[in-house]
């Protein structure tokens, strides 16, 4: 449950009116956008309430409800709202997960969105500065169902596995096997995969084949993400 402080309501370019315009664009994209409309009302309703301007620096607050990725420091970004919505929609399309692992906390916006939809969110971030900033935002918004850790994202968080769903918010050429090991057999994993300039958003589910069960990725379109890196920073 979001506990919105006064600054969350915003003014001018951060007002509810600006948020409503963004939601309208996500649900009814312009022809030149050439992308799939977001149709899951659960996702749109949370994004309408969630104050994205509180997850970026004050100097960029006037751009918070544009459909663009924005810098958050340390060569990282808060993802484009359409991408956040599409990944979330894909994650919950077949079933609402109870327990989700997010790889790459970043600003904390995606984790906050998930926390308003699912029972428990576990999120990990390799850059300690970003994680500390995200934790402050969670506290300010009264979000209590997020647990976070400063750890190498490629390792996952095995202590709390298995997860009903895993979301990866940075791109690698391949996904670490450790993440699939931490996913429940009925679970779903959504992640950008590929080299820079040739990344695809993939949704993996366990499919039974004659040779046995295997994780199969379904392409959800082209995307562009920061790289999935190893180690701590």
- Mapped to the 3 state alphabet, what secondary structure does 19-57 carry? HHHHHHHHHCCCHHHCCCCCCCHHHHHHHHHCCHHHHCC
What is the three-class DSSP state of 125? strand
What is the three-class DSSP state of 14? helix
Separation between Cα atoms, residue 210 and residue 82, nearest integer Å: 37
Nearest Cα to Cα of residue 45 among 9, 86, 83, 85: 85
- Of residues 15, 62, 79, 211, which has the active-site annotation? 79
Beta bridge partner(s), residue 188: 165, 205
H or E segment and range at residue 99: strand 99-103
Q: Is 148 an annotated catalytic residue?
A: no
CA dihedral for 202, 162, 118, 6, sign (positive or negative): negative
Contact 85, 114 (CB under 8 A): no
Q: Which residues are catalytic?
A: 79
């Amino acid at each position: 449950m979001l506990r919105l402080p006064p600054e969350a309501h915003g003014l001018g370019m951060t007002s509810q009116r600006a948020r409503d315009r963004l939601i309208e664009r996500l649900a009814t994209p312009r022809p030149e956008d050439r992308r799939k409309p977001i149709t899951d009302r659960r996702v749109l309703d949370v994004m309408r309430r969630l104050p994205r301007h509180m997850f970026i620096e004050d100097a960029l607050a006037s751009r918070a409800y544009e459909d663009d990725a924005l810098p958050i420091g340390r060569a990282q970004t808060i993802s484009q709202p359409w991408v956040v919505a599409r990944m979330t929609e894909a994650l919950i399309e077949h079933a609402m997960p109870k327990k989700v692992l997010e790889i790459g906390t970043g600003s904390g916006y995606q984790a906050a969105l998930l926390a308003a939809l699912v029972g428990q969110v576990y999120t990990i971030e390799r850059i300690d500065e970003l994680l500390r900033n995200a934790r402050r935002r969670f506290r300010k918004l009264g979000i209590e169902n997020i647990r976070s850790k400063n750890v190498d994202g490629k390792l996952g968080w095995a202590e709390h596995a298995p997860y009903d769903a895993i979301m990866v918010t940075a791109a690698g050429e391949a996904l670490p096997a450790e993440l699939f090991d931490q996913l429940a057999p009925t679970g779903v994993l959504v992640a950008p995969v590929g080299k820079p300039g040739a990344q695809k958003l993939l949704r993996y589910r366990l499919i039974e084949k004659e040779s046995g069960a295997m994780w199969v990725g379904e392409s959800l379109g082209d995307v562009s993400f920061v790289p999935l890196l190893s180690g701590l920073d």
